Each structure stands twice: as C-alpha cells, then as structure tokens.
Structure 1
Amino acid sequence: MTQTTQRRPTSVQDLQDLVGVELGPTEWHVVDQAAIDGFADLTGDHQWIHVDPERAKDSPFGSTIAHGLYSLSRTPAFLEELMAFDGFAHSLNYGYDKVRFIHPLPVDSRIRLRASLTSVEETSPGAVKVVTMLTVEAEGIDKPILIAESIGRFTV
C-alpha cells in the first residue's frame, strides 16, 4: 500500500516551496470495463476498441483500452489525493498543455498519479498561476500512460 501525505498549501510561498518536489504517487485505482463504458456513455465515444471486449480480443492490444481522455479526466481527483487547496479562497482548472497519451491503457489496469509543481507565478496581488507536471502510470507498464501539464489558478 502506498503511503502518501497530502500537502495542504495555504499561501503563495507554500506553493513556491513545492516547486520541483515530487508529489505522490497516489493510491492505485482500477480501470474496469464498467468505468470505460461509463466514460463512453458520458462522452458519446463508443468506438469498439473501448466498448467491445469480444472484438477487442483480436486487436493489437488483446483487450479493450480506456480512452486517452479518460486518463486525463481522472487527474483532478487524483491530484486531490496529493494536495488540498482548501486554504485558498478559490481554485480553478485553467487548462492543460503538452498532453501526450504515451501508452494505451488496457482494461483492468491499476493506475496512479505522480505530480510535480513546475512553476508558481503571481499573476496579480492575491492571484497565482500554478503549472503542475502530471504523470499517470499503470502497474506493470514501463512507460507512462499519460503526461500533461496542468494549469491552475488560485486566489489567496
């Protein structure tokens, strides 16, 4: 079992002190077919490689795979395992840069997140932009599933 201490920054200085510090990993999370099907229903992306286990057996992957965007969509909740921002008046997901889906994610994989703040920039008095490097990894797979830079805005 992974033991991760959740960070609780409450100031711009606290965030700046975390630049370059590896956060995580999170606990492992199973990606089962029900989760993949639910994401397909939510997004309307019912491509067979995601939702047809019988057909996917004959694919190069040997099983269904999760949508790339499924992995990305899980990162905000995973990041909450690593950091709590309740010390800030407001937080906002501003977007993502450099999103790359490095490796397919087979059904029934266990995934987790590692993160590292790469920059903290005060954009105006009491407001800060935080860039965080995200790496989603799967147990037994030697490459990341996903890498991305998350951009958040926080008000002190």
Structure 2
Amino acid sequence: MSLPPTTPSLLRRMACWLYEGMLLFGVVFIAGYLFGTLSQTKNAMDNRHALQAFLFVIFGIYFVWLWSKGQTLAMKTWHIRVLDQSGQPLSQSRALLRYLWSWLWVLPPLVLSWGLNLKGGESIVIFIGWVAIWAILSRFHPRHQFWHDALAGTQLVDERPVKP
C-alpha cells in the first residue's frame, strides 16, 4: 500500500514559480527576437498585440509540452511534479487546461489595472498583492493545492528523493 503523494510546501512552490519566471525571460527573448525578425518590426510598440498573442501561444507550447512530460526545468530543480488527480502524467489536453486556468495568476490584476487605467507602480502593487492572495488561498484547499490545479484536475506533488 503506497501513501498518497504529498503536496510541496507553499514556500517551495512559490520559489519554483519565481524560478520559472526567470527562466521565461530566455523564452521571451528568443520568441521576441524570432517575432521581430519574421515580422520586420522596427519599433517595439508596433505589432505589440500580435507579439502578445504570439507569446501566449509560445508559453502555451512550452508549458503544455513540459507539463505533459511531468516537469519544467524549474520543477525539476525544486523536485516538484505535476500529475492528474489519479496520480498519472498529464495528457496534453489536461496540460492545456492547466495552462489556461493558470492565467488566473495574472489576468485579474491585468484586467483591474487596465480597467482602472493604472500605470507602473500601482499595477505592480496590485499584481504582487493578487499573487500573494492567490498563493495564500491554496491553504483553503483540502490538500493545499493551488485552485487553478483544482479547476484543471491536476496536482503538484513532492518528488524529493527518499532518504535511506
């Protein structure tokens, strides 16, 4: 009889989240260079909505592909694996669903900032506040999972090596 998988601590999950954000700078750099080269964009403000849509698709490909394999590089570093509720690896459709629900990390503060026409520092404060609230809300999940995982039917599990 095996024990149910344990959920990584909130601190480890958030450290993984921050590390993932740093790694995405490389993805954005390469994708932005590719987009700018292919579209012959000379000014950063030209085609910005097309670039945002392109990055949305690139991020989707990145996360869906790696989550369906079980882990991103940041998740490997922090010994975290994503599985479905039955403990199986994610299908690509389940990984896509998780990707879409994971936008709950950023869409509410973006919509609020846009709706209130906020700029710079105010938007950053709202973003950081929302991320903190969204992370803390996981404490109210029965297994302390993030709510986008609950909505997507996925779970993050601890994969640290067992000590002998």
TM bucket (normalised to shorter chain) is 0.3 to 0.5
Q: Which protein has the bigger helix share?
A: 2
With normalisation by structure 2, the TM-score equals 0.35
More strand by share: 1
